[in-house]
Amino acid sequence: MLDGGAYFYGVYRCADDLYVSIGSIEPQFYALLVEKMGLTDDQLPIDAQLDKARWPELKVVLAEQFVKKTRAQWCEIMEGSDVCFAPVLSAAEAVEHPHNVEREAYIERDGVVHSAPAPRFSKTPSQLSPAPVAIGQHTEDILSSLGFSGESIQAMIKAGDAGAMQ
């Protein structure tokens, strides 16, 4: 059921070539999905939800219905209801989605957007790990601490045996 085989638990293309996802497994959420989509019981029978023999044909019914409206139109119809529905967002859209903004799910450091650390604890704030260093940034310090002379270090770097700051 959760592998995409169930027509009421999957992803559908909309009129604008964007996508929405649904997961109306429980009968009350499935019935609400049918209602919100403007379908009749003849088109998408409530009692056929778990009839696996009918899943392929009912998947076509949903696909044909979802492609009639844009993702934004479906969001307007579904959001705020108990239908198990969500727009499929691009990475850029996810960063700006009101839910993620409110939860501070993303942070920016040095002009790069990152997922915020998780889990978050009220008494022990999470932190981003340090930014990665450039290749060769610490080569001279490390080799020096191991006892190599400055002259030897430069020779290793010149020969390509040690990485230099790029």
Maximum pairwise Cα distance, the chain: 84
pLDDT at residue 166 in the model: 52
- How is 63-111 classified by DSSP, letter by letter? HHHHTTS-HHHHHHHHTTSSS-EEEEPPHHHHHH-HHHHHTT-EEEETT
Question: Letter for the amino acid at 136?
Answer: G
Residue 62: how many other CB atoms lie within 10 Å: 20
Q: Number of folded domains in the chain?
A: 2
Domain of 40?
9-88
Last residue of a domain, one of 51, 69, 88: 88
Q: 98 in a domain, yes or no?
A: no
Q: In what order do the strands lie in the sheet with 19-23?
A: 9-13, 19-23, 85-88
Instruction: Provide the whole-model pTM.
Output: 0.71
Based on the fold, state whether residues 83 and 138 are members of the same structural domain. Answer: no
If residue 66 lies in a helix (H) or strand (E), which one and from where to where?
A: helix 55-66
**Helix or strand holding residue 8 (H, E):** none
Is residue 120 included in any domain, yes or no? no
Task: Identify the pLDDT of residue 54.
Answer: 94
Give the C-alpha separation, 58 to 52, whole Å: 10
Per the structure block, which two tokens stand in for 64?
A: 């044909």
125 within a domain of the structure (yes/no): no
Domain boundary among 35, 56, 88: 88
**pLDDT on residue 81:** 94
Tracing tokens 């002009």 back to the chain, one arrives at: 111
CATH number at residue 22: 3.30.1540.10
Together in a domain, 16 and 81 = yes
In a domain, 66, yes or no: yes
**Are residues 20 and 82 both part of a single domain?**
yes
Q: For residue 2, is it within any domain?
A: no
Instruction: Tell me the pLDDT of the chain (166 aa) as tens digits.
Output: 556 689 999 999 999 999 999 999 999 999 999 999 999 989 999 899 999 999 999 999 999 999 999 999 999 999 899 999 999 999 999 999 999 999 989 988 888 898 888 888 888 877 777 777 888 888 999 999 999 999 999 999 888 888 776 5
What are the structure tokens assigned to 10, written together? 């999957």
pLDDT at 66: 98
Burial classification of residue 158, based on how many CB atoms lie within 10 Å of its CB (0-12 exposed, 13-18 middle, 19 or more buried): exposed
